[in-house]
Structure 1
Amino acid sequence: MSYQAWLDSLSIGEIFIVFVLGGAVIAECGYRIGRWWQFRTPGNKEGPTQMLVGSLLGLLAFLLAVTMGMASDRFDTRRGMIVTEANMIGTAYLRAGFLPDAEAAKSRSLLREYAPLRVLADHPQDVPQRIARSLELHEELWTIAETLAHSMPESVVLSLYIDALNEMIDIHESRVTAGIYGRLPATIFILLLISSVLTLSMVGYSAGLTGRRSPPTAVVMIVVLGAVITLLLDLDRGRGGLITINQQPLIDLQQSMDADFERNTLQDD
């Protein structure tokens, strides 16, 4: 299992709790090492430890700011694609009415099945199955359009439908790329984790050297740091957490297509 799949299998609350508990343990270990070193070498002064702690805190803040910007940009891109895809599926559905009756009915039926598949899955394990079925529907829709293109090569309205269908297929690949392959690189999270561990351990170590520490201050720092990193993971995931990508445009489209189907069915009866 990849690190991304493992992280996605955990809830946002579980990630936050694990980080806070781990951060508290690391800070405490740093404090105890600092006290041990101070007792072992009582004549040595603290040295540049405070300066090093300040530098590490500044570096960590910089990394968090840069990573937050990257995660926000990716989140906004995925959110914008929802509206774009809903519009493209809706356009293809409307233009399918240009086709002959049998092909129009078949194409619209496939599009009604396709729209719910594009709603973001609640469970990561459902994603491959949805993508596979989406690709199958692409082939079926394109086969219908290709067959009509051979029999109606000069049809302008068929050309409009094919353009809409082609754009719908393209946005599918864009969403897959942005949602699965466009996540934040593992290197960034590893760097954040290493920086957090070093910073918390050095904060505890510095407190151990001086013999003075403030548990409430340490707890607040660990909780805030854990909240920010958890927020980054939540933004990068885009589902199943406190921050989710609104799927309402696709849901509204699905409801509109179902209502249109029911209305046409009543008219036929």
Structure 2
Amino acid sequence: MGFASQVVLFSLGLFAGILLFVELGRRVGIAHLAREGRGLTKGAEAAEGAVFGLLALLIAFTFFGAASRFDDRRRLVADEANAIGTAYLRLDLLPADAQPELRALFRRYLEARLVTYRNVEDRVATAARLGSDAALQRQIWLKAVSACKRVETPGPAMTLMVTSLTEMFDITDTRVAATRNHPPRVVYWLLGSLCLIAGLLVGYATSRNPDRSWLHMFVFATILSLTVYVTIEIEYPRMGLIRVDSADQALVDLRDQLR
């Protein structure tokens, strides 16, 4: 089962669980009213406020963090395209006979980078593609350094070329680190648990009403489960339905320019 299907099933399960806990809380409240006859537990508002406050804080924390990392990953793709483009332009500083082979390697490298994160769910294939990228980096580095060491290459050209190459290579490590930068899974389990507890408290608080408000129950469950779903989706933007693939257009445009 793919990641996208897992997230959808988790969100649907959370939706059903919230409805179930709302109903459970309502029945507990009705039983309490029938047994005590004095109304619901006094002072429960403080506990409810604490739970809902914690739930709001956790939702804000996870959603803001996921959105921030989503933007960072899009920015890194643009940064890599800029780094590759700058290094490619600086090939003009090298001897003319060394440029064609390096330009061909750059085009191969750019094509490889475009497919590196195409299917990150297949970790073995992704690791193999990253290894191929590293091999191409090594070839580019050796060819460029060899050309920089030639007598006819100006000294400043070597400095500019080496700086561009190191920036171009370093961004790949930064992107790998960004794909692995996620909060612990226990945070999402805690978020789901708080959603269920919140449903329990809502059902208990509304048990004094003689009739169920299905509209409020469904809206409450939908909003919470949908928020959790979107948060998880943007936290893993290369695996689900909400994707960061549109950012790769910067690399595609650069590839078209280098042809």
Alignment TM class, shorter chain as reference: 0.7 to 0.9
2:21 alignment partner AA: I
Deviates more, 1:194-203 or 1:217-226: 194-203
- For residues 63 and 209 of structure 2, what CA distance do their matches in structure 1 show? 34
Show the 5 A alignment for 1:1-269: 8=3, 10=5, 13-39=8-34, 41-43=35-37, 45-47=39-41, 48-101=43-96, 103-119=98-114, 120-125=117-122, 126-152=125-151, 155-180=155-180, 182-208=181-207, 212-239=211-238, 240-242=240-242, 244=244, 246-257=247-258, 259=259
- For residues 169 and 39 of structure 2, what CA distance do their matches in structure 1 show? 67
> How many Å apart are 1:50 and its aligned residue?
4.4
Deviates more, 1:93-102 or 1:192-201: 93-102
- For residues 101 and 7 of structure 2, what CA distance do their matches in structure 1 show? 42
| Cα offsets for 1:83-104 (capped at 9, x unmatched) | 1110101111222233345542
TM-score normalized by the length of structure 2:
0.82
2:256 alignment partner AA: Q
| Contact 2:70 2:244 (C-alpha < 8 Å) held by counterparts | no
Cα distance change, pair 195–159 in 1 and its aligned pair in 2 (3 A)? same
Q: For 2:134, what is the secondary structure of its paired residue?
A: helix
Aligned-pair RMSD on alpha carbons? 2.8
> How many Å apart are 1:186 and its aligned residue?
2.6
Deviates more, 1:126-135 or 1:192-201: 126-135
Cα distance change, pair 138–26 in 1 and its aligned pair in 2 (3 A)? farther
> How many Å apart are 1:11 and its aligned residue?
6.1
Aligned residues: 251
Deviates more, 1:7-16 or 1:20-29: 7-16
- For residues 170 and 127 of structure 1, what CA distance do their matches in structure 2 show? 18
Cα distance change, pair 26–105 in 1 and its aligned pair in 2 (3 A)? farther
Cα distance change, pair 167–45 in 1 and its aligned pair in 2 (3 A)? same
Unaligned runs of 5+ in 2: none
- For residues 220 and 226 of structure 1, what CA distance do their matches in structure 2 show? 10
> How many Å apart are 1:139 and its aligned residue?
1.5
- For residues 47 and 13 of structure 2, what CA distance do their matches in structure 1 show? 26
Q: For 1:133, what is the secondary structure of its paired residue?
A: helix
| Contact 1:86 1:250 (C-alpha < 8 Å) held by counterparts | yes
> How many Å apart are 1:197 and its aligned residue?
2.0
- For residues 4 and 136 of structure 2, what CA distance do their matches in structure 1 show? 28
Cα distance change, pair 176–56 in 1 and its aligned pair in 2 (3 A)? same
Q: Percent identity?
A: 26
| Cα offsets for 1:136-164 (capped at 9, x unmatched) | 21122122233334445863223322211
